[in-house]
Amino acid sequence: MASYLQPTPHPSARILAGVRSLPPPPTAPLLPTRNAFAGRKAAAFRPARRFVLGLGASFWAQSMATSGAFGGKSFLASARPSSNVEQVLKNVEWPEQFPFKEEDFQRFDESSDSQFYEAPRFVTHIDDPAIAALTKFYSKVLPPSNSPGVSILDMCSSWISHYPAGYKQERIVGMGMNEEELKRNLVLTEYIIQDLNVNPKLPFEDNSFDVITNVVSVDYLSKPLDVFKEMSRILKPGGQAIMSFSNRCFWTKAISIWTSTGDTDHVLIVGSYFHYAGGFEPPQAVDISPNPGQSDPMYIVYSRKASTT
């Protein structure tokens, strides 16, 4: 486990969801960690992060709770137990407009991401059981190795993509922030260095890829709708986008709405990106956490590009 990564804290604030409100769970203690940032003590983690949700989340929650647009049902909910993860995106009645605001995508550290990722980090950002669970999931959903004509984009890639051992395709593109890390990734056939928070435009032709993967990095996207719209553009009809995440991150670089909410709410947030980007089928969620309460949790939110008729 890359133990210097901080776990996302449980929120005390209530957050929106497409289910009825439940009592908030007890606050989970922080796992023992090793500080990733020179000169900053891990004990400073709680007071240093943002204290409140951005205005967008607050507005969505309040508007859902007070309006009668959805038959009077309550759409407020606290951070729910992970056992509900796979139900969160079922039958969601989304607001007409994307409810999050610019403030929700600000980070504690707004300095250059290129500078932050300048030094390579040859580490894994989730522990071994979580990695094994993700690799097992990939083995079931990715096209078989060496399938003719298959192209895959590993977005926000690094020195390892967690695909099954020996996995190969004619084209596997890695898009990341550090060239030394991408050079080390043996599954890639090519790579591109790009900061999606500066330029969310993906440098690929329409309908280019069968699959897009993203591992524990969706929480760093400060322009997620732009990126997800681009994902829809470059996926082939019926192509699949797989977003996987845990509860660990470089918290100073994660967006405010992420560090202020819990695991299950993260599923709803990523689901909203698919929904409001357009061009995708209704997103689905899977909890692949290997040992709940004992190792890093692992969640998947995925969708397919709507097929043309």
pLDDT at 77 over 70: no
Domain 85-305 in CATH 3.40.50.150: yes
Which position has the higher pLDDT, 27 or 167? 167
pLDDT (tens digit per residue) in 236-282: 999 999 999 998 888 888 999 999 999 989 999 999 999 999 999 99
For the chain, give the percent of residues with pLDDT over 90: 61
CB 96 within 8 A of CB 280: no
pLDDT at 53 over 90: no
Handedness of CA 180, 184, 190, 194 (dihedral sign): negative
What pTM was estimated for this model as a whole?
Answer: 0.76
* pLDDT category of residue 154 using cuts at 50, 70 and 90: very high
* pLDDT category of residue 123 using cuts at 50, 70 and 90: low
Most confident listed range (6-15, 50-59, 96-105, 123-132): 96-105
Dmax over CA atoms of the chain, in Å, equals 57
44: alpha, beta or left? (left if phi > 0; alpha if psi -120 to 50):
alpha
pLDDT at 117 over 80: no
Element (H, E) at 284: strand 284-287
The DSSP 8-state label assigned to residue 144 in this structure reads P
**Residue 107 corresponds to which tokens in the numbers above?**
């980070």
